[in-house]
Chain A
Amino acid sequence: MNTGQVISGIGHAGLIGWILFGGTFQSEPLPFEVTEVSVISTDAFEALLTNGPTPDAATNAALPVQPDVTPDPIETPVPDEVVEVQPPAPSPAPDPDPLPEPPLPEPEPEVADDAPVQPAPQEQAVLAPEIAPRPVPRAAERVAPEPVAPPTPEAAPADVQQDAVTPDAEADTPAPVEEQDATAPEEATTEIVTEAEEPSGAPTASLRPPARRPSAPAPPTETAAAPAPAPTADVDDAVRQALEGGGETDVPQGPPLSAGEKDALRVAVSSCWNVGSLSSAALLTTVVVAVDMTQDAKPVIASIRMLSSSGGSEQAARQAFEAARRAIIRCTRDGYGLPVEKYGQWKEIEMTFNPERMRIK
């Protein structure tokens, strides 16, 4: 029996007990007032309503006595003298303003042919961090009578200090002593330089943004003497450059492809990867196919090659590769839509075609 049932039982028992035995404690009825009423007829009641309530009982209170007051006559003020009223005289007209002098001829602006050159700023604006880094306690510098240059980067403080040992030429019996170098003293300075004395990296001043300058007049158009070079977007050139590795310096590297861009490429190839005509053996074969890409995101067909295969025979791998090659070529009429600014990231692609999820279940 849980606590709730116990509480409920006690409560109910109390309530029943109060109902049964509560009257014992209040056996006497509560006192109440009794008011006598009289019964009147309808006519009498209506008569009461029409005559108004008239108190039957006479009151001893004295009626208020009206005061005997005679009102005084109202006095009308009389003016002392009569004032003739005249219309107001018109105010004198103000003197007209003198005619303005004819405007002076506008000064001709002095326009230089050359655009003004803004002087180079003395200091470059430096973006200060919005949140200052939490100061880190700096290790106290070691102070020694003589400054010691810092050790080479690969040097590490030795645990045990040792003295330099050199063979003693004057010894009678020169014992074989192994030469050793003395332990280099730790890095030290001659004085303590506090952080307050160090130059701060925060900017001391910031330059105001330059005012917008009027654009310089456009130089006169010159007629090109030589014909413009032919566009170099020819596929063959791109293929040659891709295969020869030329133009590395012209290839925009850009950041790595985002997950969305990779997914878009994956979906594009997947939509053309038709495994319906593959044999069951080829459906067990995973092939890795490499392809070089042109800058307009089209595959170089001649560069499509199988790097490796696993899970099937050579014939099955060949069939799987043919299906993969068709997939790469089929859906690239307009290119794969890869960002050209990241060409360096996708100029060569390795695609792994894994048909594990496409097998006959």
Chain B
Amino acid sequence: MMCRIVCMVVALTVALIQMPAAVTAQNGPLRIEITEGVIEPLPVAIPDLVAETPGSAEMGQQLSRVIAADLVGTGLFRELPASAFISQITDFGAPVQYADWKAINAQALVTGAVTVSGNQVTVKFRLHDVFSGAELGDGLQFAGTTDGWRRIAHKVADVVYSRITGEGGYFDSRVVFVSESGPKAQRRKRLAVMDYDGANVQYLTGSEAIVLAPRFSATGDRVLYTSYETGFPRIYVLDVGSVQRRVLESQQGVMSFAPRFSPDGRTVVYSLSQGSNTDIYAMDIASGAARRLTSGPAIETAPSYSPDGAQIVFESDRSGTQQLYVMPSGGGEARRISFGEGRYGTPVWSPRGDLIAFTKQSKGRFHIGVMRTDGSEERLLTASFLDEGPTWSPNGRVIMFARETQGAAGRSTLYSVDITGRNLRPVRTPDGGSDPSWGPLQR
């Protein structure tokens, strides 16, 4: 009874103390909480870049088209057609009539000018926040050769994307992949590298031997891949600039495959098969010294470093089915992170370090999915007859993978998808493609 009275007194005292605060709150500003929004592409206007020299008008049009394609291709932006423009940008230095752009509901405006002198091209641009009536950041200028005009456009788009979304861009990046041509029974495979959007495809190897699993280094200057040139799968290191290569592992009678660089580029982690056992090894590139990271009768392969290089995620069937495991980069006890139905494989750690992408086979269908590094919050982003080989964009927002259609005339094509599962779209390449590996942003 006494305790109850004391509690009532305390409660009354607290209420009396808080009463003035409540009264004050009622006299203050109106407070509301917004918890529901909309998810829709941001309307953006990208007029043709102003030609500041004779003959650069066409270049200005091409640049604006690539910038618009980059932004619209993310699924986060919607380009307003030029026919809707009320005012035109004819002078890069003239003040912008924001009311005209606000009237057509443009939320962002990209204005720019291009100067072509010989084989040199210079592009300067500004990004405007229409509803604020101010520039979003400072104006920037890029210069390069006319051959590299697409890279200049990609860089402009990267800046626009970064300033609006707050994330790093990924447009000025390249992807190495296996180009596939010919019928399915006699398919020719060769290494190729391209811009992220499928343009500027360049072949790095011939089609004499089967090549597999190319992987960019963190700096984008080297590529690891597996070749059956000698009849056995072997790992090669290819210098992208000089297109020179060398065998990384020359031990006879063993099969090595599934290589991947460490974040610092000094170590390669790969699988080595001896007899019926497959384990994961790490090799110092400079010295060639290899170190065994896993040991056991199970098949353990497809290793991938975390961004900080401290951990490795890989696939193993040690539990009876193919699942994902994480272990320290120096080897040691591995913990299982995938527990769903089906088989998990080809894990890849996100550049942000927060997610792991994987291929999942379940109930006769293949999926590309992501999960937290502890295995939680698994989400499947795609589903088809055969989806496999995910790779992350430099900013960790987009995943590229290979999708193969069913049947004898089936064709493998590269696709990209946002980590939200939206904006699934094919990557246009001259031939088919598989095993993509997304490189870093170019400098």
Q: Tell me, yes or no, whether B31 is within 8 Å of chain A by CB.
A: yes
Residues of B within 8 A of A262 (CB): 30, 32
Known A329-B131, A330-B107, A360-B419; contact A352-B41, beta-carbon cutoff 8 A: no
Collect the chain A residues with CB atoms within 8 Å of residue B38's CB. Answer: 270-276
In the complex with contacts A273-B37, A274-B42, A356-B35, A330-B30 CB distance below 8 A: no
A276 close to B32 (CB less than 8 A): no
Contact yes or no, A348 B35, CB < 8 A: no
Interface presence of A318 (CB below 8 A): yes
Question: Nearest chain-A residue to B36 (Cβ)?
Answer: A270
Give, as a whole number of angstroms, the nearest-CB distance from B393 to chain A. Answer: 13
B276 within 8 A of A: no
Q: A361: which B residues are within 8 A, CB to CB?
A: 379
CB proximity to B under 8 Å, residues A213-244: none
- A257 at interface by CB-CB < 8 Å: yes
Q: Given the known A-B contacts A270-B36, A352-B34, A360-B419, are A277 and B165 also in contact in the complex, defined by CB atoms under 8 Å? A: yes
Kindly state whether residue A266 has any CB partner on chain B within 8 Å.
yes
Considering only CB atoms, which chain A residue lies closest to B352 in the complex? A280
Q: List residues of chain B with CB within 8 A of the CB of A324.
A: 34
Chain B interface secondary structure, helix, strand, loop or mixed?
loop
Interface assignment of A322: CB less than 8 Å from any CB of chain B:
yes
**Does B76 lie at the interface of the complex (its beta carbon under 8 Å from any beta carbon of A)?**
yes
B166 lies within 8 A of chain A by Cβ: yes
A270 touches B34 (CB 8 A): yes
Q: Which residues of A contact B166 (CB under 8 A)?
A: 278-279, 281-282, 315-316, 318-319
Question: Which residues of B130-156 have CB atoms within 8 Å of chain A's CB atoms?
Answer: 131-133, 136
Q: Does B29 reach chain A (CB closer than 8 Å)?
A: yes
Cβ contact within 8 Å between A352 and B37: no
**A356: B residues at CB distance < 8 A:** 35
Asked whether any CB of chain B lies closer than 8 Å to the CB of A349, the reply is yes
Look across to chain A and name the residue whose beta carbon is closest to the beta carbon of B71.
Answer: A277
Given that A276-B42, A282-B166, A301-B132 are known contacts, is A351 also in contact with B35, CB under 8 Å in the complex? no
**A349–B30 CB distance below 8 A:** yes
Would you give the 0/1 interface string for A241-272, flagging 1 where the beta carbon is closer than 8 Å to chain B?
Answer: 00000000000000011000010011001111
Instruction: Determine the residue in chain B with the shortest Cβ distance to A262.
Output: B32
Q: Count chain A CB atoms within 10 A of each CB in B28, B42, B167 and give the residue with the most.
A: B167
Cβ–Cβ contact A325 & B33, under 8 A: no
Asked if B39 CB lies within 8 Å of chain A CBs, one says yes
> A355–B39 Cα gap in the complex (Å)?
11
Chain B residues contacting A346 (CB-CB under 8 Å) are: 30
B333 within 8 A of A: no
Instruction: Report B's interface with A, CB cutoff 8 A.
Output: 26, 28-42, 76-77, 107, 129, 131-133, 136, 164-167, 379, 397, 419-420
Given contacts A348-B29, A353-B37, 19 further A-B contacts (CB under 8 A): A269-B34, A273-B34, A274-B38, A274-B39, A274-B42, A275-B39, A276-B39, A277-B76, A277-B77, A277-B164, A282-B165, A316-B166, A318-B166, A345-B30, A346-B30, A351-B34, A352-B33, A360-B419, A360-B420
8 intermolecular pairs with C-beta atoms under 8 Å apart = A266-B33, A270-B38, A282-B165, A330-B131, A345-B30, A346-B30, A349-B31, A358-B35
- 4 nearest A-B residue pairs (beta carbon): A319-B166, A273-B37, A348-B29, A276-B39
